Amino acid sequence: MTLAKRVLVTGGAGFIGSHLCDALLARGHEVLCVDNFYTGSRANLAHLLANPRFELVRHDVTFPLYVEVDQIYNLACPASPIHYQRDPVQTTKTSVHGAINVLGLAKRLGARVLQASTSEVYGDPEVHPQTEDYWGHVNPIGPRSCYDEGKRCAETLFFDYHRQHGLEIKVARIFNTYGPRMHPNDGRVVSNFIVHALRGEPIPIYGNGEQTRSFCYVSDLVSALIALMESPAEVTGPINLGNPREFTIRQLADLVLAHTGSRSAIETRPLPTDDPRQRRPDITLAGTKLGWEPTVPLEEGLDRTIDYFRRLLAEQPSAGG
């Protein structure tokens, strides 16, 4: 039986954060969700507002937060290129100032703190698949750098607080994750393809579509985050969390067309600057340290995600438009 704790989730109104709040409440914890609603949505949490063990606070993590909690999951940061490039200075501040503020809070409370880092710390990788000891191949001054370097700096801060102050830290490097509650207009490849297919609009493929990604369903990712938080103190990470099954972008488009029954055409567009050619996690460490591996195949997860967007678009015909 898990001992009930008071848990802070920053970015808790977002796609992954809201699913994490669900899972923590299901385990008997009290959850304090903090979000500034820049990309998060109250609709993602509507079903939790009546729960007496759930509390929602509007707050920006670039400012200090004074609360009392036992654990902190730091998920606050825009995570899609469309959103994080809209205000790149704020994106960097959210990653860096946000990390400083949650680490300061954790230090004051003696709380364990988990950083939601990203596979983007590897940049356009020259090592494949990516292992945690790979330092990455990142452009520090490109249009994606606000996110890539912001997350890399946040990891630096977490490990410096661990070494300097003995703080109990956990660092998760999250690879492409998808599922219900994704923002319909976030520009991420799964939501983008599904929304275009359901609307009968051309599906945009950037470049030749041969670049690869791996896709982890959100319930698998959340179970990994909780397993990492609950792991022994010496397991700090960074640990790759994702699904190692690799697909080309064109294969994903074909799957979406088949599962939606759409007749949308495929439309090629120029490749964005610094777009990674290949991305697949080596999750050996997650298996040995956490006893975790993903269980939801892409085809099954796509069906669940398509059902979600079908309902969303039926209720809000202009969603994302």
Burial 216-227 (b: 16+ CB within 10 A, else e): bbbbbbbbbbbb
- Rounded-to-integer distance, Cα 72 and Cα 8, Å: 5
- Which whole-number Å values give the CA distances from 58 to 34, 51, 52, 203, in the listed order? 6, 17, 18, 36
Task: Look up residue 96 and give its two tokens.
Answer: 């860096």
User: Which sign, positive or negative, has the C-alpha torsion 275, 279, 285, 290?
Assistant: positive
- Rounded-to-integer distance, Cα 52 and Cα 202, Å: 45
147 included as an active-site residue = yes
Task: Look up residue 250 and give its two tokens.
Answer: 């064109």
Which of these is catalytic: 73, 147, 178, 217?
147
Closest alpha carbon to 243 in 274, 220, 266: 220
281 bridge partner residues: 130
Give the active site residues.
147
